[in-house]
A and B are shown apart, each in its own frame.
Chain A
Amino acid sequence: MNDMRLMERSAMTNDVKISASQVQVFYGESHAIKDVNVDILDKTVTAFIGPSGCGKSTFLRCLNRMNDTIDICRVEGRITLDGEDIYDREVDPVQLRARVGMVFQKPNPFPKSIYDNVAYGPKIHGQVRSRDELDEVVEKSLRRAALWDEVKDRLSAPGTGLSGGQQQRLCIARAVATSPEVLLMDEPCSALDPIATAQVEELIDELREQFSVVIVTHSMQQAARVSQRTAFFHLGNLVEYGETGQIFTNPGDPRTESYITGRIG
């Protein structure tokens, strides 16, 4: 790890985008997330790391209420987006998810054309008025996801026919097409080869200019490469949260140190 590079890429702003306080998550009887407090900054890449089953994906899914789809899941505490409580009774999770987009672990394009995949979000949110405008949004999103040049000649081909890395970038294009403010990524590279991984990581770095990106990853190298801030989860607790450079070079908690040096996990 190059310390100099890590320092250079320190957070650009200090505006808090998402703030979580005293968040508890229960799956039936089991207490999956305990007392998590975290402030996620705008225009920053935040990485969640930790051993399997530590709750980082669960916590990520709380941020756009994807856990609502699981009957037995219960969330307590307070999570705010721009100061508004997203678990307020009056908040419609559908509206929330238009602002907090999500990319999943396994590439999951719709079994439709590449164009329709990207166009779906803007269409259902009524963000475009004409076909030309939609074409524009699709092109812009695919360019942002660094996929445009590869697919511009076959936009009507099925999205499922692309390679794994291309599919994942298509999913990212689909997520950014609705112009969310926050992009949640749940291990976006775990199903990809190193080359595709590098492309996606480069992309995340570019996306930081417009969005706040939260990425869950198993790879500490990846966290170190792409993020400005890192949160370490262990057994449902947020153990440590801070500048990525600091977490990796000078961790404050012995558990963090054990994990990043490979002794637990």
Chain B
Amino acid sequence: MTDASAQFEGRGRPSLRVQDARTRRRNAAEKRFRAYGLVAIGVGILALFVLLASIFGNGSSAFFQTKIQLQVPLEEKALDKSGTRDPEAMKKVTTVGYGRVLKAALADLIAREGIEIDGLSKRDIDSFLSKEAPAQLRNHVLANPDLIGTTIAFEVMTNGRIDGYFKGRVSLDSAELDSNVSPAQLHLADALKDRGLLGTGFNLDFLTAPDASDQRPEAAGLGVAIIGSAYMMIVVLCLALPIGVAASIYLEEFARKNWLTDLIEVNIANLAAVPSIVFGILGLAIFINFAGLPQSAPIVGGLVLTLMTLPTIIISTRAALRAVPPSIKDAALGIGASKTQAVFHHVLPLAAPGILTGTIIGLAQALGETAPLLLIGMVAFVREYPGAPVEGFFDPASALPVQVYNWTQRADPAFVERASGAIIVLLAFLVVMNTIAIVLRRRYERRW
């Protein structure tokens, strides 16, 4: 053995243990390529991390809200002059009347607790509470007229700036320059907090309340947007899935391959790449201007998103159908099943996980789509909840991504927090949908 290797070395053959120049260059190239790959993945992960960190950093506080515990005397002479406890008669007292009651209750609380703060004016006390608070109290009292004459404990939202103070958005320095809040109010908030009368808690209203005007960011919620998005998803699912699957089955299993089907195929592939705003223009022209459907309605949004989702569903369904081995269809045809039976008994069940995955991904895409909805008027300010299905599909509503867009345009910095919070909700829905898609694929995927 040693003789033999010695012999080879003697003949001038290089040892395998020494890399020649060519091998070294190839190895270097391979290492370099791996490094590029690692850098690319690293940049991707870093970008994702920064994105999530900034969204959660900005938005997570939207789920919390600073509220103050007030003892509110509901006096009959102020709120129910007729004394009948009839809600219709009580409606004569507007939010202005309830605002007075709340302001008095707050002033009373400050006096009772003996809080004394330099420069705290009456105006400061009046604007300490949210402009939304009187409306909430009024709704509560109108719903329970028997409360008149008693003193109730009522949790009231504070002004958005006070809320921002506890979330780090507003400081004593910035309050000096801010016409909407004074340092005295912040001192008052601190004092109330020390006495345990004011605190920050979970804010369910963010998920259920409707949108609010520019002046009261603390009251703005996603309720209407979530309902609108849900209605649109129902419309998309009910239309795009059957139409898409039927079209795919026909094109894949029944249609003859000729220039017409080729043309259709090319067009479907192209439609998937059409900018979504084009679908918005189409929806505006056809569904609203031509068909006369109402603006801002989930039905129109759903129809537009259906058009947009169809190519995605058709492409993924056809891929899923094509992935079923032809031997299965042959087997069915070979024992005398008709084409329809072969497709519906054997091919479609095997393709179902792929179809469902494609559908859910298509829906997720539709859920996050903004541009076409802007064109059909879903960007409108909607405070009324849409009705129950199916009539509710025709009521004005908002949608999650549009609500994000809407809030980012408002001036008050509190809306930035709300917008990020809405993004978190949207992302949560998307994560849930994609998880369902993955679970379905894992569970029903068959190997043969």
Contacts and interface: CB of A to CB of B under 8 A. Distances in A.
Contacts of B338: 94
Contacts of B337: 94, 120, 124
A121 B342 CA distance: 11
Contacts of B333: 66, 69, 97
A175 B334 contact: yes
Contacts of A106: 327
A259 interface: no
Contact of A71 (B256, B332, B346): B256
Contact of A104 (B334, B341, B345): B334
Interface string A88-112: 0000001111100111101011110
Contacts of B256: 71
B155 to A, nearest CB: 59
B250 to A, nearest CB: 15
A120 B448 contact: no
Given A104-B327, A110-B346, A125 B332 contact: no
B335 A178 contact: yes
Given A71-B256, A124-B341, A175 B330 contact: no
A103 B331 CA distance: 8
Contact of A97 (B334, B345, B350): B334
Contacts of B346: 110
Nearest to B447: A160
Given A110-B346, A120-B345, A160-B448, A98 B336 contact: yes
A111 B446 contact: yes
Which of B325, B330, B335, B446 has its CB near the most chain A CB atoms (within 10 A)?
A: B335
A101 B327 contact: no
A174 interface: yes
B46 interface: no
B273 interface: no
Contacts of A95: 336
A166 interface: no
B328 interface: yes
B257 interface: yes
Q: Report the interface size class on chain B.
A: 20 to 34
A96 B256 CA distance: 22
A67 B336 CA distance: 14
B445 to A, nearest CB: 11
A228 interface: no
Interface in B57-101: none
Contacts of A171: 331
B330 A108 contact: yes
Contacts of A120: 332, 335, 337, 345
A98 B446 CA distance: 28
A64 interface: yes
Contacts of B329: 69
Which of A97, A98, A177 has its CB near the most chain B CB atoms (within 10 A)?
A: A97
Interface string A112-130: 0000000011001100000
B328 A66 contact: no
Interface in B231-286: 256-257
Which of B256, B332, B336, B345 has its CB near the most chain A CB atoms (within 10 A)?
A: B336
B331 A110 contact: yes
B448 A111 contact: yes
A107 to B, nearest CB: 9
A124 B334 CA distance: 13
A124 B341 CA distance: 8
Contacts of A101: 334-336
Given A71-B257, A111-B350, A97 B327 contact: no
A66 B334 CA distance: 7
A175 B257 contact: no
A98 B332 CA distance: 11
Contacts of B325: 108
Contacts of B335: 97-98, 101-102, 120-121, 124, 174-175, 177-178
Nearest to A120: B335
Contacts of A64: 334
Interface string B328-368: 11111111111001000110001000000000000000000
Interface in B296-353: 325, 327-338, 341, 345-346, 350
A109 B330 CA distance: 11
A108 B341 contact: no
A109 B325 CA distance: 11
A102 B329 CA distance: 13
Given A120-B345, A160-B448, A94 B336 contact: yes
Interface in A46-78: 64, 66, 69, 71
A13 B256 CA distance: 43
A109 B346 CA distance: 11
Interface string A157-178: 0001000000000010011011
B333 to A, nearest CB: 6
Given A94-B336, A104-B331, 15 more contacts: A64-B334, A66-B330, A66-B333, A69-B329, A96-B336, A97-B334, A101-B336, A106-B327, A108-B331, A111-B446, A120-B345, A124-B337, A174-B331, A175-B335, A177-B335
User: What 9 A-B pairs come out closest when comparing CB atoms?
Assistant: A98-B336, A102-B334, A108-B327, A97-B336, A121-B335, A108-B331, A94-B338, A111-B446, A160-B448
Interface of B: 256-257, 325, 327-338, 341, 345-346, 350, 446, 448
13 contacts: A64-B334, A66-B334, A71-B256, A97-B336, A101-B336, A102-B335, A104-B327, A108-B328, A108-B331, A111-B328, A111-B448, A120-B337, A120-B345
